[in-house]
Structure 1
Amino acid sequence: MNDIDLLNEHGPDASPLSEEAWRSARTKLASEISPPARSRRWGLMPRIAVIGLAGVAAVAATVAVLPEKHPDRERPPTVTAQGTKGSPGPIRLVAATAPQYPFSLPGFDEVSYTADPGGPVMGIFGPSLGENGPNNTVVLVPLPEKPSGSSRGEREIDVDGRPGKIESFRDGQTGEIAAVQLNWERKPGQWVTIVGNGTRATEDEVLRLARSVVDEPRRLNFKVTLGLAPDGWVLGGFKGDDKAVSIISYQDPGTDRELHVVWYGTPPEDAGWEGLEAESRVTVNKRPAKLIRTTQNWIVVGSLPDGASYQLMAPRDFTTKQVVDLAGSIRIH
């Protein structure tokens, strides 16, 4: 499998999952989970990662965030950043720092992260595994703006003088409340979603947790990051905890343009490139690399000081200098 195939299958722009695929993902996740010893606590992300980047958000939403759909109740809408698709603007590279997650929840030792393509980073706070699989998790999501729309099951609520909406969701099989979701304005202009699952699925517990949220930026588990990024582009998705492959992507909110960096613990075999037009040798950070031009992308293939390798993929409207500069800004995280 070459890297275009890899991104098509597992990357942020992979095809949406069907209901059958969602069920398969849940089954696969459950098969990967063996009941942990009582003295050990597991994080959710290492188990979810076996499904691949395209399924991470789906599994987090299906297993960790909310129960199966109730016949009379729909799951809350997926939280994504919306952008108006338009004509590409000029590319300008600016200094970039590694994306971070902004919050902490006191009392939780385990936390993992995931993100929908173009959406905010979701924090999944544990303990995340029990005898029946992922449960009792708390999902905390910073929203880019005030959520729009409403559902018939939600009601307005006051959270320490701030407006919010709260809703309970029942398990489709048992009829018991399996999740409680609160959207509220934590600070002026700062909207946040928090979801309590399992034993934490009560309004009192979710409100208690909401009041305990702390502003504390947390490092995400990327293998590599970029020191430069196109001005105005946002984190498009990531898969960061695999020992063999790690992906971080940025996207232009106004167009379909995307930038991907794939990290390999072991350099992959050269499988060829679809639409290959030209290939040349370049130097990136005093190390030899290959600059590849295809009909749709620029690709830089190089190595890092620790022996790992990377492949950077950028749209063709980038200049060759910009592509090489981006590759030169790749850093071990």
Structure 2
Amino acid sequence: MSSDHDLDVALTAAAAVTDDQLPDLPGSFLDELRAAAEHRGSPLASVLAAGQLADDAHRAATRGRARRRLVRAGTAVLVAAAAWAAVLVALPADRDAGGQAAPTVTAPVPGTPLGLTLASTGPVTFPLSLDPEPPGLTPVFSQWGGTAYYPGPLVLVGDWSSAEGDRVLLYLFPGEPVGPEYEPYGSPGEPAGTGDVDGATAQLFRRDGGTAVRWGRPDGRWLQLSGEGAYADPDALLAVARSVVDRPQPVGLQFGLAPAGWTVGGYEESRSLDLVSDTDPAQVPLRVSLTGTPGPGVTVDSFFEDRSLLDPVEQLTVQGLPARLGKTTPDDGDSWLLAGQVPDGRLFLMLAPPALTRDQVLQIAEQITVTR
């Protein structure tokens, strides 16, 4: 199990969405980022708050679910909760997420004497697109639940937003979102009539600051769109609803190598990605999260402050840029931590299971890619 390490981050200029509109998160995200988050001044989608809740989860050493709170800051939708904002999801081959492609395992990487074997993977994708894309809006993608490690309904979310406050939030549910398992997602609002979406009758809802539309698809799944700003108008939102197409698109963050047989456990706002073991769900996940750019007091070394390590932090180079590697003690997560930078300069933190060797951890980090 990964430890639930407390995170403390300042999310400035953010307006919170109410808790009753938000799903629960697994409490196992509270691992990394404490030191960097304490110093970081800019709000980032892959960092979170709630230090006291994280302490509680750390002491409990369980995978209980913590409340997720989405907040808006600039063009990003930020995650603030007693968890590190990183649910990243690719699916087992036998699980349908509406076009979500599982990582494609090809040739195993040779040279592994014991433990886990690495294999190359295909892209993690979000199954839907908007055609045409709403002008001026930038998308990020998330997937929650649907695995033994992250239980609950498999829910995929696309979030298109702009700095001006225009927003379209799309949910893809595995069935009609009614019943206790969907209560964490809250109500879409008060009923406000009906509309037509490609021949299906869609229910319209109104709530403060926005509109929502929900309808069933022929395959049994349900879609819900919420609109804000220019898309709070029901006609504008219905036009977007009619533009939804089954066209997978890559999420912005990818692993090129991963333990063979592992699948995506979740992805969060295209900035964090988890791969999990299908055969041993309690094993530490393979997780990467983008955490912004270096600044005063925030470097690759910041991630290792206040961590309990087996050996001194190793200084090395990954993707041609400075990186740091360490392994935490069993009482502080029992995992590899690698902090580095992607070529565009953004910092990333990678968590990896202790069954991997040092060289395997470095091989995986060298093949992390970012496209958004």
TM-score interval, normalised by the smaller of the two chains: 0.5 to 0.7
- In the alignment, does 2:136 pair up with 1:110? yes
Q: Cα 1:306–1:112, aligned 2, differ >3 Å: closer, same or farther?
A: closer
The CA deviation at 1:277 is: 0.6
Classify 1:107/1:277 alpha carbon distance in 2 versus 1 (closer, same or farther; 3 Å): closer
Q: Which residue of 1 is the match for residue 81 of structure 2?
A: none
Matched residues in 2 for 1:52 and 1:287: separation?
21
Give the share of equivalent positions with the same residue, in percent: 24
Cα distance change, pair 121–256 in 1 and its aligned pair in 2 (3 A): farther
The match for 2:7 is 8
Distance 1:299 1:109, change over 3 A: same
Residue 227 of structure 1 corresponds to 256
Q: Which runs of 5+ in 2 are unaligned?
A: 17-40, 50-67, 78-87, 92-114, 145-154
Could you say which residue in structure 1 is the equivalent of 2:70? 58
Q: Offset at 1:147?
A: 1.8
The 3-state SS of whatever aligns with 1:209 is: helix
Displacement of 1:294: 0.9
The residue correspondences of 1:1-333 to structure 2 (distance < 5 A) are 8-9=7-8, 25-26=14-15, 50-53=42-45, 54=48, 58-60=70-72, 93-94=118-119, 95-100=121-126, 102-106=128-132, 108-114=134-140, 118=144, 120-125=156-161, 129=164, 134-135=165-166, 137-149=167-179, 153-154=190-191, 159-162=197-200, 164-169=202-207, 171=208, 178-198=209-229, 200-218=231-249, 220=251, 222=252, 225-229=254-258, 231-238=262-269, 247-250=271-274, 252=276, 257-258=284-285, 259-262=287-290, 265-266=293-294, 268=299, 270-271=301-302, 272-273=304-305, 274-279=307-312, 290-295=324-329, 296=333, 297-302=335-340, 310-333=348-371
Query: How far apart are 1:278 and its partner, in Å?
Result: 1.8
| Deviation sequence 1:45-90 (CA, Å, 0-9, x none) | xxxx9433238962259x999xxxxxxxxxxxxxx99x9xxxxxx9
Instruction: Name structure 1 gaps, 5 residues minimum.
Output: 15-20, 28-48, 66-79, 84-89, 172-177, 241-246
> 2:59: which partner in 1?
none
Tell me, what secondary structure is at the counterpart of 1:316? coil
How far, CA to CA, are the matches of 1:332 and 1:64 in structure 2?
17
Closer/same/farther in 2, CA of residues 331 and 160 from structure 1, 3 Å limit? closer
Q: Given the two structures, how large is their TM-score scaled by the length of structure 1?
A: 0.56
Measure, in 2, the Cα distance between the counterparts of 1:92 and 1:291: 20
Structure label with greater radius of gyration: 1
Contact residue 262 and residue 311 of structure 1 kept, 8 A: yes
Q: CA deviation at 1:251?
A: 5.3
1:293 to partner: Cα distance: 1.0
Contact kept? 1:184, 1:193, Cα under 8 Å: yes
Aligned-residue offset at 1:298? 0.3
Q: Name the count of aligned residue pairs.
A: 254
Task: State whether residues 104 and 213 of structure 1, in contact with CA within 8 Å, keep that contact through their aligned partners in structure 2.
Answer: yes
How far, CA to CA, are the matches of 2:321 and 2:275 in structure 1?
Answer: 27
Cα offset for 1:26? 2.0
Over the aligned positions, Cα root-mean-square deviation in angstroms equals 4.8
CA contact (8 A) 1:124 1:138 kept: yes
1:278 aligned counterpart, secondary structure: coil
Query: How far 1:317 sits from its partner (Å)?
Result: 4.7
